[in-house]
Structure 1
Amino acid sequence: MNLFATLNEVLNSDVLSRIAAYVDEPTEKTNKAVNGLVYTIIGGLMKRTTTEIGVNQLFNHIQKGRYEGTLTDNLATTLRDPNQTNTLITQGDEVISHLLPAMKSSIGSMISSYAGIRNSSAISLLGLTSTIVLNVLGKQVKSQKLDADGLASTLFAEREAFVNAVPDELMPRLIEKVGLHQIVNGVATPARRSAVESPGRSVASTSGSSVRSTATVTRPSVSYDPVDDSDSDNGALTKWGVGALLAVALAVGGYFVYQNTINHSGVAQDSSDLATVTGDTIQADTVTRSLAVPVEPKPQTATAAPTAVSTAAPVSTTGLSGNLSQLMTPYLGNAMLPKGRVFPLTGVAFIPGSLSLTAGSQATINELATLLKSYPQLQIQLVGYANDAQAGVTNKSLSFKRVNQIKQQLMASGISFVRIDAIGRGTGVAKNDTSRIPKPTMRKINVKVVAK
């Protein structure tokens, strides 16, 4: 059963008109907001079920909240009563607070801007839509007799439909606000719970009609009877031996702490974390920064001019002969230079209004892939700009799709997605810019070095 098709049936015109009347917003804008929230909630739940805790929490909320789908059978009737509608909103607020913690305000702000409604209306619709989505999922759990793992798998089966269904205008915002980079790129998978059962009991998990193979888990018997070894020579020797080893370990640990303090007492802080080639500095606030980026060693204060620079030796520099390599290789090979520098991908261009690369662009992409392979610690952020979007597509959406296409090619060449971030900045001119200073819109792609 297609989850989005089911939700479209549930959220029919009669239901949407009643929801619009409750929040006192135009029906067209309410429809756009509810659809955006459906994608947001499902995407957020997909991300949540990439962890074992998230899988359990989602399943437990559906079970304890008795989300069995009965609400969706009489939703239009239920929404006639403002008190019942308010109850559904309150239930959804609680769900969001537990399943997508600390995200209610940011989601409400995103949907308010996306659909052109009041922020208070967006928050109310978030709670109501969350309750409806959980009832639809709960109905699937009940009808297909799904366990927690089966629910997570069923949810992830909608990933392709989700990517295709999200409007171009919403997708970049959704990825940035909810953190769906791994979901959209198809690299995330649902977590599997680790089951521990009683002695001799067979562990079996059912997902829909399919049953995974069973395994028997037997716990070893544990004795809690006290053992008196005070009269045993072996016991006494063991105690003395453990004590001696502990003393040695403490001494060694103290020595290393002392040495580390001496070695790092003269470390100077970097004067700046950002330096650019083109003068463009862009804030890194998405997947590469959110993951565990290794901290770059800071240079020690020198009393005299250094005679040699310590650099991390690349694996291989074969094929690094293009313009991009000529710019980046000296910088990447010098550990004294701070991370954060921005380089233009001048060799990469797209046919106006499309996602088709121009002739010669592939060579620069291949060159970038070679650099990433040559410097295994290198992590980058691709930042795209566009000013040539055609009707029906925004410049921000077009810029994101273009850099994401480059990211996909780099991943296909063997580069881990963790090392590549991709964001679209549209024209590069902020809508709330009141400086009245003319700023040319941009059509380009930059590479920012996040870690080296």
Structure 2
Amino acid sequence: MNLFATIHEVLNSDVLSRIAAYIDEPTEKTNKAVDGLIYTIIGGLMKRTTTEIGVNQLYNHIQKGRYDGSLTENLANVLRDPTHTNTLITQGNDVISHLLPAMKSSIGSMISSYAGIRNSSAISLLGLTTTIVLHVLGKRAKEQKIDADGLAASLFSEREAFVNAVPEEFMPRLVEKVGLQQVVAGIAAPARRTTVESPIRPVATTSSTASRATVTTTRPSVSYDPVDDSNNDNNSLAKWGVGALLALAIGIGGYYVYQNTQKYANNGEAVSEISTIEGDTVQADTVARSLAVPKDSTTKTPPRSTSAVPSATTATTGLPTSNTPGNLTQVMAPYIGNAALPKGRVFPLTGVTFQPGSLSMTPGSLAAVGELATLLKTYPQLQVQLIGYANDAQGALTNKSLSFKRVNQIKQQLMSSGIDYLRIDAIGRGSGVSLRDTSGAPKPTLRKIDVKVVVK
């Protein structure tokens, strides 16, 4: 049973009804708020444990606060007492202020807007839900006998379940408010604590030395015997010999370099070919390059064989490159270059398609991804969000998971071409039809990739 199933088992209908009565909110809205808080807290803790300090803080709070799962065994009875319930809320809010500093108010506002409850109710639910989540984590740590590193790793093992469980309409605001871009994209990983001990440490007793699994450093012995002058003479001769050998080696190396320099200086074709290859590498890795800048016609390089150097794809990125602007460039470049136009416009990435039900791109899709990479390099300040839709999931894979995996694959391709991951956000929205929509009106499902301009 994964973490989310365990938490929802603890928060059964009886418990949720008592919580709703305590905060004086409708049960349906309370359930929605608690669900949103579960995802927010788990996602926030994942992000927190990407640092060594966060790993230690989470584990220490669980140990010192005695979050061992005892609360989850009789939670419904505990919530009968308003005083005890208030204590749990206060305790949880205090912990969340340490684990997710300066985020309590923003989380409360987000949940209040998402579930349609009062902000004060959202803050109360945040404290109570935090306490419950920590008890579930503490129980897992106790039963599995894991340390702080193991707890962080166990938390990150739920990432896939987390991505699939978060409702489609809640994911964008959750990622933005809590900053879960790296977690959702699968880039973030739990930090591991490192213990550095001094190589030379005074030891009180022999028994403590035996119990310490560290490398023993041996101090060099110091001699106070009279010094033999003959040894000094031998040492001096040895030093002169080493110096002579070094001088000889430097002379040979300099002569070798000089000969090779003369050789290549006399070979114009070899120098020209090397310069051509280096020029292609620089062009592929350049971050800021305007599509409108014409090629310099003053420097001409001899034609080369296509079998010697690939011209369709770069060796470093694997993405096709072209100096001819495509459709995406033609529609996006005027918008990006016009500072008067507001950000937030969405453009379809029509050139990228996938084989039905799979993560395999169709032929020609790499060219469109390469064109987007060129745009991002041309405008270094540009930040985009890739929005994926899918309606062709097969087997156990859901449309939401498939759509996310597809846009994340495009993001990985862009990163491999040299684009900073912080400039690319990726989110999957499934088929585009909300499962919570009870209107009964038929709505078309979607299968596409969009590019939203976040910063231009």
For residue 176 of structure 1, report the CA deviation from its aligned partner. Answer: 1.3
1:63 paired with 2:43, answer no
Distance 2:89 2:344 in 1: 46
Matched, 1:21 2:21: yes
What's the counterpart of residue 271 of structure 2? none
Residues 22-421 of structure 1 mapped to structure 2, 5 A cutoff: 22-197=22-197, 216-217=214-215, 317-318=321-322, 320-326=324-330, 345=347, 348=350, 363=364, 366-372=367-373, 376=377, 379-382=382-385, 405-406=406-407, 408-412=409-413, 414-415=416-417, 416=419, 417-421=421-425
- With structure 1 as the length reference, what TM-score do the two structures score? 0.59
* Distance in 1, Cα, partners of 2:198 & 2:449: 60
- Confirm or deny: 8 A CA contact 2:386 2:427 kept in the other structure: yes
Secondary structure of the equivalent of 2:146?
coil
Residue 47 of structure 1, CA deviation: 0.6
Residue deviations 1:94-153 (CA, integer Å, cap 9, x gap): 111011111111111111122221111111000000001001111111222211100100
Partner of 1:275 in structure 2?
Answer: none
1 or 2, which has the higher helix percentage? 2
Question: Secondary structure of the residue that 1:137 maps to in structure 2?
Answer: helix
Structure-2 separation of matches of 1:221 and 1:197: 17
Matched AA of 1:408:
Q
Residue 328 of structure 2 aligns with an amino acid whose one-letter code is L
Q: For the residues of structure 2 that align with 1:21 and 1:337, how far apart are their CA atoms?
A: 51
Quote the offset at 1:321 in angstroms: 4.3
Q: CA deviation at 1:39?
A: 1.0
The answer on whether the counterparts of 1:14 and 1:76 sit within 8 Å (CA) in structure 2 is: yes
Q: State the distance in 2 between where 1:70 and 1:122 align.
A: 25
Give the SS at the match of 1:117.
coil
Q: Is the 8 A contact 2:401 2:428 kept in 1?
A: yes
How far the C-alpha of 1:421 sits from its partner, in A, is 2.7
Deviation at 1:406, TM superposition (A): 3.9
C-alpha distance 28-375 of structure 1, shift in aligned 2 (>3 A): closer
Give the Å deviation of 1:408. Answer: 3.1
Q: Secondary structure at the match of 1:169?
A: coil
- TM (norm. structure 2) is 0.58
Q: Percent identity?
A: 59
Q: Partners in 1 of 2:123 and 2:332 — Cα distance?
A: 46
Note the C-alpha offset of 1:181: 1.3
Letter in 2 for 1:348: T
Distance 1:339 1:31, change over 3 A: closer
How far is 1:76 from its partner?
A: 1.1
Structure 2 counterpart of 1:323, which letter?
Answer: N
Question: 2:384 is paired with a residue of what secondary structure?
Answer: strand
* SS at 2:412 equivalent: helix
Q: CA deviation at 1:85?
A: 0.4
- Mark the CA change 1:405 to 1:51 in structure 2 (over 3 Å): closer, same or farther: same
Assess if the C-alpha contact under 8 Å between 2:343 and 2:453 holds in 1. Answer: yes
- Note the C-alpha offset of 1:3: 1.2
Q: Is the 8 A contact 2:386 2:426 kept in 1?
A: yes
Q: Does 1:448 align with 2:448?
A: no
Q: Do the aligned partners of 2:16 and 2:27 also contact (CA within 8 Å) in 1?
A: yes
State how far apart, in whole Å, the 2-side matches of 1:339 and 1:356 are. Answer: 37
Distance 1:312 1:125 in 2: 62
C-alpha distance 32-49 of structure 1, shift in aligned 2 (>3 A): same
CA contact (8 A) 1:67 1:138 kept: yes
Q: 1:32 to 1:326 in 2, by over 3 A?
A: closer
Task: Provide the C-alpha distance between the structure 1 equivalents of 2:346 and 2:69, rounded to a whole number of angstroms.
Answer: 52
- Contact between 1:89 and 1:125, CA under 8 Å: does it hold in 2? yes
Change (3 A) 1:23 1:450: closer
TM-superposition CA deviations, 1:423-442 (whole Å, max 9, x none): 799xxxxxxxxxxxxxxxxx
Task: Name 2:394's counterpart in structure 1.
Answer: none
Shift of 1:16: 1.1
By how many angstroms is 1:34 displaced?
A: 1.1
Aligned residues: 324
Residue pair 1:156, 1:189 contacting (<8 A) in 2 also? yes
Secondary structure in 1 aligned to 2:385? Answer: strand
The whole-number CA distance in structure 1 between the counterparts of 2:25 and 2:343 is 46
Query: CA shift at 1:367, angstroms?
Result: 2.5
Cα offset, 1:190, TM superposition: 0.4
SS of equivalent to 1:188: coil
Letter matched to residue 419 of structure 1: R
C-alpha change, 1:356 and 1:117, in structure 2 (3 Å) is farther
Secondary structure of 1:421's match? strand
Looking at structure 1, the residues matched to 365 and 213 of structure 2 have their Cα atoms a distance apart, in angstroms, of 51
What letter is aligned with 1:324?
A: L
**One-letter amino acid of the counterpart of residue 169, structure 2:** E
Q: Note the C-alpha offset of 1:365.
A: 6.6
